[in-house]
Structure 1
Amino acid sequence: MTGVYTGSINNASLEILVKRLGEPENVLMVSLGSPMGKTLDLQKGFWEYIRSYMNNGPWFDKNGKHSDSDEFIKSQLSSNIRHSDFLGYWKKTITDKKLKSGDSNFLTASDAFMFVGHLVFYPTNAIQDFTYDYVKRKTRKLWPEIVTERLKPDGPTSRLIDLERERGLPV
């Protein structure tokens, strides 16, 4: 977009309109994008991920096509490091560099900076991880059955639009 007074605007918004089941007049606008990096390319990529998930199901390959195996998904999830694990990751990285280099100077300024930074923020990250786990466990019991049914590993047994039709609700 380009504005007369603003010049070029290089960000994009990705939002969806959500309607409550059985109450179509009760709507909510939800922003799907991350709070930073709202470039058009990033938002299009995120939308393509959501579209692929909705069209092809929870299991897909690296090209976004449906797959009968969850191998690709598991490989992506295995790379997710918790915030409190960063300190251990950098410690292992430095140890590996030390073993590979022998007696030569192996420690770079960025290694030292990252290790000290993660050491300083470790208590905050540990509290954040603990809080996230606690809240996730606590709130899952509060979800309605219609939501928990959709969280099953093999997917839901019914579609929301079919439930609305069964109840005679406007779609």
Structure 2
Amino acid sequence: MKIDEAVNIINSTTTVRAKVDDGVMYVHEKLNSDDDWFMRVSLYHLGWSAITADFDTCLDDDVDVMDLARVMDVIQRLLDTPVKERFPEKKYVLSAMRCAEGPFAIKQYVDAININTNNVEFHFGLANETANAMEFTQEDLDSLSDFFPKAAIDAMKEEVKDNG
């Protein structure tokens, strides 16, 4: 289970909320401030030793028992996920400044790669449009180094923001 998925499930409950800050997930009552967490989960550790709980002080009767059960289920599923798989994998697009409209350079994004026995070529989409741009993982980009210099790929790559 990915961290953002766990937060979304917990935040879909009516009486409990979760947030992530600096590698730690804080779980608190919906109506209490973020500082009044009743459970803190270190996202870089395995097992229940990653959990710090303060049920006596910060957990009121206002928390629905079904919401609390859901939180415990989500936390267990998160702890069962290897640490590396909890974090969303970064995605990238490739872009280049091209003289496609007369003497003016415009930014275009790669929307296809054609590979055949004789050559490899990028196909660029419309100017400044990322909607149809191909997305790559770092592993995908590393495999392109069989065809293109790594420095060229690194110069073209841009991280896709707001990955889900």
Per the shorter chain, which TM-score range? under 0.3
**Larger helix share, 1 or 2:** 1
The alignment's TM-score, normalised by the length of structure 2, stands at 0.27
**Larger strand share, 1 or 2:** 2
The alignment's TM-score, normalised by the length of structure 1, stands at 0.26
